[in-house]
Amino acid sequence: MKLINCDLNGYGGAILDILNDAIVTSTALYDYKPRAPESMVGWFKPKQDAGYPVVGAVDDEGTLLGFASYGTFRAWPAYKYSVEHSVYVQKSQRGKGVGLALLRNLIQVATRQQYHTLIGGIDVTNKASIALHVKLGFVHSGTIQHAAFKFGGWLDLCFYQLLLCTPSDPVDG
């Protein structure tokens, strides 16, 4: 497995496949319907414009095993040092270290980019994701009960955060 930077043309379709599987089979994404291929343009553009990473893990043949990214946590300027991240791994690759490698890489990139807080919103039933985050030093920072309704039931959303030692010189404005 190796880590690469993903772009729309090279990996947009594979990322969409992983996202759509998560939408229809899990509570990893609080969405109901699979996304259309054209939605990936709107998914990639803000990440590209802001310099946010889209990191992929690929096998020797270049098949995408999983991906991770982050983006704006809140749209107000004072949140500029906080980002919300996502990590998704193909079903057949879960438990094999793909998510761990991806999240470790995001932490390194966020540190280089001088962010201070990485935030992950995780469904409370996703024990594997919670364990992964805790393993890398994330701490539980709150739970919103009944944040969403999917598969005929209410879903609780917990937040895990990791504080980084950056930025070196934070400023207002």
| SS3 labels along 61-82 | CCCEEEEEEEEECCCCHHHCCE
Query: Residue 169 domain-assigned?
Result: no
Please check the confidence at residue 173 and state whether its pLDDT lies above 90.
no
Q: Each residue of 50-63: pLDDT tens digit?
A: 999 999 999 999 99
Cβ distance 29 to 74 under 8 Å?
no
Query: Residue 168 domain-assigned?
Result: no
Query: Residue 78 domain-assigned?
Result: yes
- Please give the structure tokens belonging to residue 82: 């906080």
- Please give the structure tokens belonging to residue 83: 């980002």
Q: Each residue of 59-108: pLDDT tens digit?
A: 999 999 999 999 999 999 999 999 999 999 999 999 899 999 999 999 99
Please check the confidence at residue 117 and state whether its pLDDT lies above 90.
yes
pLDDT band of 168, cuts 50, 70, 90 = confident
pLDDT of residue 80: 96
pLDDT of residue 122: 98
pLDDT of residue 105: 97
Query: Residue 170 domain-assigned?
Result: no
Q: How far apart are CA 17 and CA 67, in angstroms?
A: 11
Cβ distance 37 to 20 under 8 Å?
no
Q: How far apart are CA 153 and CA 40, in angstroms?
A: 28
- Please give the structure tokens belonging to residue 125: 């039933």
Mean pLDDT throughout 117-125? 97
Mean pLDDT throughout 11-37? 96
Q: Each residue of 100-113: pLDDT tens digit?
A: 999 999 999 999 99
Task: Name the percent of the chain lying above pLDDT 90.
Answer: 97
- Please give the structure tokens belonging to residue 136: 């890398």
Query: Residue 171 domain-assigned?
Result: no
Q: Each residue of 151-160: pLDDT tens digit?
A: 999 999 999 9
pLDDT of residue 18: 97
Mean pLDDT throughout 161-166? 96
Q: How far apart are CA 103 and CA 134, in angstroms?
A: 12
Domain limits at 36?
2-163
The strand ranges marked E within 26-152 are: 54-58, 64-72, 82-89, 117-123, 139-150
Number of domains in the chain: 1
Give the residue among 38, 90, 93, 48 at the shortest CA–CA distance from 69: 48
Task: Residue 69: give its domain's CATH number.
Answer: 3.40.630.30
